[in-house]
Chain A
Amino acid sequence: MHGKTSWINATSLTLGFAFFYLPLLILVVFSFNDGRLVTVWTGFSLRWYAEVLQNDEMLEAAWNTVRIAALSSTMAVILGSFAAITLVRMGRFWGRTLFAGMIFAPLVMPVVITGLSLLLLFVALDIQRGFWTIVIAHTTFNLALSAVVIASRLVSFDRSLEEAAYDLGASSFATFTQVTLPIISPAVVSAWLLSFTYSMDDLVIAAFTAGPGSTTLPMKLYSSVRLGVSPEINALSTILISVVALGICIAAYVDFRRDKNT
């Protein structure tokens, strides 16, 4: 469906994107403000960036979060690929409906429930809470996310490619590594990126499953946000927004290059 852009469509697009971008724009602009207030402009300064980069607690929380995100998304894409292949390629097996439900439900389940239930599991099993319990919690959510992303790629590709490999005498292992894996690899990459972003962003599940000494960046951010606005948070937010923007631009560029080559 396509056609002329009428004035009403142009207006809704303009207002819509302004709504999405203005708050972030204001946030970014005031991170460069010299004064303490984040609503009154007093002059250009980079002092809040210097403060953020000297805040050791913040940096430690950020490093924690990156490690948790990298570990949990790597585990999640491996397990998620297994789950996606199971759901799309294995046909019926005992418990398939239950399995599909367990993959689907975490994606929409309110995080307060997921967080609380995992915490109670760790307490019941007498597991010390900390870095690894957050990794497990995030892997669980990201497994579901990765499985759905990879499954949608598997559904849309031509199964006869795998059958052709079998017919030409390839073993099931060779078919998997030489046909199936290359086909799902773009989905695996985007599943990893999505999982990483989710893990970097999650406050609620991390807050429930964290222990002493395993504070993550969102938890740190949350406790400072509760104290009110401050230019330091604006500076930190601007850094994080730039990282996401850069990531999206790289992903879009890679995608564009691939489309051009094929």
Chain B
Amino acid sequence: MNLRWLRRLFIAIPFFWMLLFFLVPFAFVLKISLSDAARARPPFTPQLGLEDGWSGLIDRLRQFDLESYVWISGDSLYVTSILNSLKIASVSTLLCLVFGYFVAYGMVRAPRRWRTPMLLALILPFWTSFLIRIYAWIGILKNEGFLNNLLLGLGVIDEPLIIMNTTTAVYIGIVYSYSTLMIFPLYASLERMDGTLLEAAEDLGCSRLSAFWQITFPLSLPGILAGCFLVFIPAMGEFVIPDILGGTQTVMIGKTMWIEFFSNRDWPVASALAILLLLILIGPILLFQRHHERHLGKI
């Protein structure tokens, strides 16, 4: 008897917590995205809801429109931010993959006693505050910053490189803060690999490079896929990096949403942008969950 109740309680408490504070809020985002902007507190008038009873709802349904969405599709700023986010997230995922593969491969190939210290050394910057890591790059990248001083001092360049407040700075920021998320799954899948496969390939006359492409690379695909999801999905909605390093000219959907919400106080448009971002990401999130369950056991 008590086992059954314990079981129900165990399931019910976290279940309802997540239902109330994770899933249900999306219904409100959807509702507000369909509301009209207004000068009020909170700044919108709902088009759906029973505040004025059923007759009020029916009245409002007659005038129902997709104002925020029409507004978004008609304004090039929003379309550009969505396309730009897709581009920046894809390119930086690729950059993280290339950089992360070199590091993960190097770690697996290093002497065994180095591995734990190296893993710890990876964790330290990763656990350091995200804002601090991004902030550290301002001093390096700005016009009179560390990098420019160094290159000017060495005589490599004659005038300072303009990197700060450009998309390049955003790429550097994303690779710097997200590539650890690529290295961990890559390392895990390379570490599990059976080394005798490579020895067999070598014995059979396979060159090192073709052994890499025919054995190591395919066997690390689960890690590659997991790493790409882990970088791409949050990079799509990134706000801090384009805001601090990207300047005004780098528009990304997360940043546009933040500005609509906090500066323009246009809650319906911000909500509509959130819904669009969610629609773009729901596919990758579900695929990632399935991938995770298949390769890393049930959660």
Contacts and interface: CB of A to CB of B under 8 A. Distances in A.
A121 B281 contact: no
The 5 closest A-B pairs by CB, nearest first: A110-B237, A117-B25, A12-B102, A83-B14, A16-B103
Contacts of A8: 106
Nearest to A118: B25
A87 B146 contact: no
B191 interface: yes
Given A9-B110, A121-B28, A113 B274 contact: yes
Contacts of B244: 225-226
Given A90-B7, A121-B21, A121-B25, A248 B14 contact: no
Which of under 10, 10 to 19, 20 to 34, or 35 or more describes the interface residues of A?
35 or more
The DSSP consensus for interface residues of chain A is: helix
B214 to A, nearest CB: 15
Interface of B: 2-3, 6-7, 10-11, 13-15, 17-26, 28-29, 32, 42, 99, 102-103, 105-112, 116, 118, 120-125, 127-140, 142, 144-146, 149, 176, 190-191, 193-195, 198, 229-230, 233-234, 236-240, 243-244, 254, 257-258, 261-262, 267, 270-271, 274, 277-278, 281, 285-286, 288-289, 292-293, 296-299
A112 B99 CA distance: 27
A3 B109 contact: yes
Contact of B146 (A39, A103, A197, A203): A39
A112 B237 contact: yes
A225 B124 contact: no
A5 B109 contact: yes
A85 interface: yes
Contacts of B32: 120
Contact of B6 (A16, A144, A172): A172
A8 B105 CA distance: 10
A24 B277 contact: no
Nearest to B111: A5
B139 A106 contact: no
Nearest to A104: B289
A140 B22 CA distance: 7
A114 B234 CA distance: 12
Given A39-B139, A116-B29, A172-B6, A21 B234 contact: no
B101 to A, nearest CB: 9
Interface string A127-140: 00000000011011
A19 B127 contact: no
B161 to A, nearest CB: 15
A148 interface: yes
A27 interface: yes
Given A27-B135, A247-B127, 8 more contacts: A1-B198, A21-B121, A83-B18, A105-B285, A111-B234, A112-B274, A116-B261, A204-B239
A53 interface: no
A216 B11 CA distance: 33
Given A23-B176, A155-B298, A237-B135, A86 B108 contact: no
Contacts of A197: 127
A93 B278 CA distance: 27
Contacts of B234: 108, 110-111
A33 B223 CA distance: 43
B106 A120 contact: no
A118 B21 contact: yes
Contact of A221 (B128, B131, B271): B131
